[in-house]
């Protein structure tokens, strides 16, 4: 990915997940913006997008962070929002276990409170431990937690899977978390 794509992707993450107001962009209740509005409003921001550049970012993004509507007229972030939007995801049966990558400095707090969503809409869980490792490394010395998702589901807790394959839930109580031995 070239530099322009990376900068555009970061800018699109900012305005589609957190600060659409920064460039005067309007998202609908489900987080969709018109591609034409994103192009026009980007003139108020640090990266000047074109429709072609947006399509490149969607196609080349390493985590498929952005989704276009089938007619290509609308775009939204697949997950990771801090602003209040309804991703209109349907609750799904999770796999038996999922993983959460975090940093060692958070472990004592997680043992007490469980996994909380903080600024995001959901707690994010990964399908495989490699992905969780990469998520954890962003915060410090990584620790991979195993989450007993099937037990949670049996206990009536809901799970959602985002358009880019990240599993989402509201809160993970400590009793459903397996911590590594040391
Ligand atoms: C931790 C990236 C103390 C939690 C990734 C994490 C992901 C607690 C941090 C997505 C805690 C929040 C989300 C507690 C949770 N006490 N710390 N009780 N409960 N934490 O960035 O999961 O690049 O908001 O373990 O790939 O790291 O943005 O969440 O370390 O999918 O597309 O608090 O972001 O995707 O950090 O990452 P974050 P996350 P994007």
For the cut 70, the answer to whether the pLDDT of residue 182 exceeds it is: no
Distance, CA of 90 to CA of 11 (rounded, Å): 28
Q: pLDDT tens digits for 26-84?
A: 999 999 999 999 999 999 999 999 999 999 999 998 889 999 999 999 999 999 999 99
Which of 57, 118, 164, 176 maximizes ligand 1 atoms within 8 Å of its Cβ, making it the mutation to test the pocket?
Answer: 118
How far, in Å, from the CA of 13 to the mean position of ligand 1? 16
Cβ–Cβ under 8 Å, residues 42 and 12: no
Q: pLDDT tens digits for 120-175?
A: 989 999 999 999 999 999 999 999 999 999 999 999 999 999 989 999 999 999 99
How far, in Å, from the CA of 157 to the mean position of ligand 1? 20
| In the chain, where the domains are located | 3-77, 98-178
What's the mean per-residue pLDDT of the chain?
96
Closest residue (by CA) to atom 25 of ligand 1? 102
For the cut 90, the answer to whether the pLDDT of residue 181 exceeds it is: no
Which structure tokens are listed for 180?
Answer: 């590594």
DSSP-based three-state secondary structure for 33: strand
Distance, CA of 114 to CA of 140 (rounded, Å): 19
Q: Does domain 3-77 have CATH number 3.30.70.270?
A: no
Burial tier of 60 (Cβ tally within 10 Å: 0-12, 13-18, 19+): middle
The class of domain 98-178 in CATH terms is alpha beta
């Amino acid at each position: 990915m070239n530099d322009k794509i990376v900068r555009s992707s970061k800018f699109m993450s900012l305005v589609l997940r957190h600060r659409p107001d920064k460039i005067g962009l309007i998202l609908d209740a489900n987080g969709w913006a018109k591609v034409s509005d994103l192009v026009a409003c980007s003139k108020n921001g640090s990266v000047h997008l074109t429709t072609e550049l947006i399509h490149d970012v969607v196609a080349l993004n390493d985590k498929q962070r952005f989704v276009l509507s089938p007619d290509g007229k609308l775009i939204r972030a697949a997950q990771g929002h801090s602003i209040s939007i309804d991703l209109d995801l349907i609750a799904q049966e999770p796999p038996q276990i999922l993983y959460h990558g975090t940093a060692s400095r958070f472990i004592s707090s997680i043992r007490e409170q469980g996994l909380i969503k903080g600024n995001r809409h959901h707690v994010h869980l990964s399908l495989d431990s490699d992905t969780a490792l990469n998520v954890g490394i962003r915060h410090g010395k990584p620790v991979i937690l195993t989450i007993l998702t099937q037990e949670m589901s049996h206990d009536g807790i809901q799970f959602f899977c985002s358009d880019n394959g990240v599993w989402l839930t509201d809160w993970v109580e400590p009793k459903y978390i397996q911590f590594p031995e040391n």
